[in-house]
Amino acid sequence: MSYDEYYVKSVIRTISDWPEPGIEFRDITPIFKDPKARRMVAHAFVQRYMDMDLSAIACIDARGFLFGAIIAHELNLPLVLVRKKGKLPGDCVHQEYTLEYGTASVEMQSDALAEGDRVVLIDDLIATGGTILAAMTLIKKLGAEVVEAAALINLPDLGGATKIQDAGSPVFTLMAFEGH
Applying CB under 6 A, among 80, 108, 125, 150 the residue interacting with ligand AMP is 125
Q: Is 126 in the site for ligand AMP (CB under 6 A)?
A: yes
Applying CB under 6 A, among 9, 25, 175, 176 the residue interacting with ligand AMP is 25
68 vs 142, beta carbon nearer ligand AMP: 68
Q: Which residues in 17-170 belong to E strands, given as ranges?
A: 24-27, 56-60, 79-84, 92-98, 103-109, 118-126, 145-154
For residue 93, report the phi and psi dihedrals to the nearest 5 degrees: -105, 145
- Radius of gyration of the chain from its Cα atoms, rounded to whole angstroms: 16
Q: How far is the CB of 27 from ligand AMP (least distance, A)?
A: 7
The whole-angstrom separation of Cα 158 and Cα 50 is: 30
The whole-angstrom separation of Cα 62 and Cα 51 is: 27
- Count residues near ligand AMP (CB under 6 A): 17
158: DSSP letter: G
52 vs 62, beta carbon nearer ligand AMP: 62
Applying CB under 6 A, among 88, 127, 136, 161 the residue interacting with ligand AMP is 127
Q: Which residues bind ligand AMP (CB under 6 A)?
A: 23-26, 60, 63, 123-131, 160, 180
